[in-house]
């Protein structure tokens, strides 16, 4: 090949390389633009259905209109089971499905740090499943930007079992649409089906009308307890921290067990899942935090309002309240609209009895 042909060949290769790089750059630019557009769209849609975002907004709105004195924390059992409109005008349900005491602690801390309302009472959930499962890693991965401003970085590293915060956590927290397409589709599909009466809303279902109840009961107990520690120490430590924060802030704690179906309780007992020792540990921990209240009676007695010398905490046991009323549940452990109404009215009555709230 002579020099002229070699020059032409090299020139063509350079031109082809330039064209390839140009096309690749255009493709990458289009791909990134589409991804950012979709992610932005997802964020807008996500903010309209994400429970945490909605609860934060609603709480911030409510404290501009009134002082919140009673706060409910917990997971879906509290979220679905409490109707604050039937309890007190100055109460707020901050419970979110799937939340552990990590989230509860930082919700309470944020409220106290911002000092925009004067909390007097908080309801803390201590159900049979409360401390067994602790899946905070996914929450941290997807909501790192939410927790970094309020949570200690070393704590995040400790509970995620990492030496440093993984790059993937930052990526997932900044680009929330990654891996969430299925959730988005599911949300809109469920909304569509419920809107057009093709699917019954959970709060309108009755457990007695559900088919394959036995399978649901087994799946629920497996999900709550199988291959899980009876008490996850990390989750439990945040429970103790929440108690301590409340005590330091002169907030009265109300420990509460939410109603479950008789079938659920029977399955737990049949499997010999620890109950007495579980609550004995809680007893010891609570009395250590509230030293002036060591006379509180354990094991718990329903609606035992024997208060402490300083009224530091109370205990409300509703676990077996509706064991003969399965129509009050939409699944094994969650109250439907009817059950929520009945429980909330009972709580209001009990709070009136111990003068935590006055007649409104």
In tens, the pLDDT along 12-42 reads 566 666 777 777 788 888 877 776 776 666 6
Which tens digit of pLDDT belongs to each residue from 136-179?
A: 655 666 666 677 777 777 777 766 666 666 666 666 666 665 55
Residue 185 has pLDDT above 70, yes or no: no
Residue 339 has pLDDT above 90, yes or no: yes
pLDDT of residue 325: 93
DSSP state of 251: P
Residue 177, Cα to own-chain centre: how many angstroms?
A: 20
Q: What is the DSSP string of 118-173?
A: ---EEEEE--TTTTT---HHHHHHHHHHHHTTTS-HHHHHHHTT-SS--HHHHHHH
- The model's pTM is 0.79
220 class by beta-carbon count within 10 Å (0-12 exposed, 13-18 middle, 19+ buried): buried
Longest CA span, the chain: 104
What distance in Å separates the CA atoms of residue 216 and residue 161, rounded to the nearest whole number?
33
What distance in Å separates the CA atoms of residue 115 and residue 183, rounded to the nearest whole number?
35
Which tens digit of pLDDT belongs to each residue from 215-266?
A: 889 999 998 888 888 898 888 989 999 999 999 999 999 999 999 999 999 9
Residue 173, Cα to own-chain centre: how many angstroms?
A: 17
Q: How many CA atoms lie within 13 A of 38 on its CB side?
A: 12
pLDDT of residue 297: 40
Is the CB of residue 328 less than 8 Å from the CB of residue 66? Answer: no
What's the topology of domain 51-133+204-353?
Rossmann fold (3.40.50)
Mean pLDDT value across the chain: 79
Dihedral Cα 238, 261, 88, 356, nearest 10 deg: -70
305 class by beta-carbon count within 10 Å (0-12 exposed, 13-18 middle, 19+ buried): middle
Question: What are the distances in angstroms from CA 99 to CA 49, 158, 238, 303?
Answer: 16, 18, 12, 26
């Amino acid at each position: 090949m002579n020099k002229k042909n070699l020059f032409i060949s090299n020139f063509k290769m350079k031109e082809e390389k330039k064209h390839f790089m140009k096309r690749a750059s255009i493709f990458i630019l289009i791909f990134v633009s589409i991804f950012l557009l979709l992610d932005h769209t997802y964020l807008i849609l996500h903010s309209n259905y994400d429970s945490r975002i909605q609860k934060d907004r609603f709480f911030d709105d409510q404290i501009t209109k009134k002082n919140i004195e009673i706060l409910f924390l917990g997971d879906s059992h509290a979220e679905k089971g409490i109707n604050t409109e039937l309890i007190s005008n100055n109460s707020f349900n901050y419970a979110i499905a799937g939340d552990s005491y990590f989230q509860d602690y930082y919700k309470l801390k944020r409220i106290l740090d911002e000092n925009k309302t004067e909390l007097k009472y908080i309801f803390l959930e201590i159900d049979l499943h409360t401390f067994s499962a602790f899946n905070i890693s996914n929450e941290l991965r997807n909501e790192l930007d939410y927790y970094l401003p309020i949570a200690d970085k070393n704590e995040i590293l400790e509970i995620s079992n990492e030496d440093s915060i993984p790059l993937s956590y930052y990526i997932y927290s900044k680009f929330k649409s990654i891996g969430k397409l299925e959730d988005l589709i599911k949300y809109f599909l469920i909304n569509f089906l419920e809107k057009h009466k093709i699917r019954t809303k959970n709060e309108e279902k009755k457990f007695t009308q559900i088919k394959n109840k036995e399978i649901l009961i087994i799946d629920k107990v497996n999900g709550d307890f199988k291959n899980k520690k009876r008490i996850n120490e990390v989750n439990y430590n945040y429970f103790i921290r929440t108690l301590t924060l409340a005590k330091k802030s002169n907030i009265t704690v109300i420990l509460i067990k939410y109603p479950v179906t008789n079938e659920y309780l029977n399955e737990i007992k049949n499997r010999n899942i620890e109950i007495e020792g579980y609550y004995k540990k809680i007893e010891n921990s609570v009395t250590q935090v509230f030293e002036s209240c060591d006379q509180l009676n354990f094991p718990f007695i329903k609606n035992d309002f024997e208060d402490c010398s300083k009224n530091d905490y109370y205990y409300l046991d509703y676990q077996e309240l509706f064991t003969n009323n399965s129509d009050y549940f939409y699944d094994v452990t969650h109250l439907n609209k009817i059950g929520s109404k009945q429980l909330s009215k009972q709580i209001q009555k009990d709070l009136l009895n111990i003068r935590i709230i006055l007649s409104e």
